[in-house]
Structure 1
Amino acid sequence: MRKNLLLVLIALLGCFSASGQQNVVKVNPLGLAFGAAQFSYERAISDKGAFEVSLAYTRINASFGVDEAKATGFGAEGKYKFYFSSSKEAPRGWYAAPVVSYSSASAESGSSSGDVSAFSGGAVAGYQWVFGGGSTGFALDLNLGAQYVSASTSGDVSGVDIDGILPRLGVSIGYAW
């Protein structure tokens, strides 16, 4: 009985390690430097396609002379990556992806407060490396693209009038399994 159980476990382990990396969790190191945490999960659903979802949280405290300002926000994003390489399987290699995202932030300074919300949609092209030949590895994802952004404000927030096309740059590092 123990011998059969051991053989089944070894066979299952072999199946999982033979399939390579299908999942990637990533963080944006540039965002962390500016007070924003963005975490992403990517799952390869075919040899040439993967779905990625991201959640972001921002908290910024700033001082302007005597005034102090605080802002907190959250965001969510979705991508479907089309991988092009004939020699590599998703989640590795060159890709293009449509992107849609929503974010919302609240700010307050003294007796003033307000909200900003933004919706964006666009496309990116990039390359994702997964280093490590076994069942786990380190991932680096770089992408560049454009997005249409529409932002609205409420409360005392003014001067935020975004309604147009903006560039988009993405850098993420993570762990693949």
Structure 2
Amino acid sequence: MAEILIGSFQDVIKIVPVLFLVILLTNWITGKVNKGTHFFSRLAKLDVVGGALLGTIPQCGISVALAKLYDNGYISLGMLMAVFLAGSDEALIVVGAHPDKLPLMLEIIGIKVLIGIGAGWLINLAIKEKRNRLKGCGIDCDCPKCGKHKNILVNSLVHTLKLTLFLYVTVLIIGIGADRFGE
């Protein structure tokens, strides 16, 4: 059991610096949105099409940032799903290993964009949600519902610690399950 506890900790601790940087970036983006940055209000108007196109940018930071924007009520669920479905991080790996596959990868990315747009549109059609559910809440929010600290570094650190604890418990449960029942 001690091996599982230590192994789980070693697995999770490796990603904490990256997790902190991603959370810091998303908090910064959310702060910019809350202060009236016009880029994101224009992006929200593009909705699922904009989400699907953003999803093609190869990095998970886009998905994380838009998940945070959805959480704060700035974008629709359909747009969020369009980003997730159009995500194409694997394209860089395949093209890097096989540059001759670039036309195929572009075709696949195009299909993923179309799927993202279609699914996002259907989700928005089926689920009518109220946007700006938490309007005004962000890095500068003092409301008791948010419980956020005004300092972006402190807020990001607290969020990172909460997620690290969640990840540790999750990895620990998976480790115990694999030990008891096999992989």
Could you tell me the TM-score, scaled by structure 2's length?
A: 0.24
Larger strand fraction of residues: 1
Larger helix fraction of residues: 2
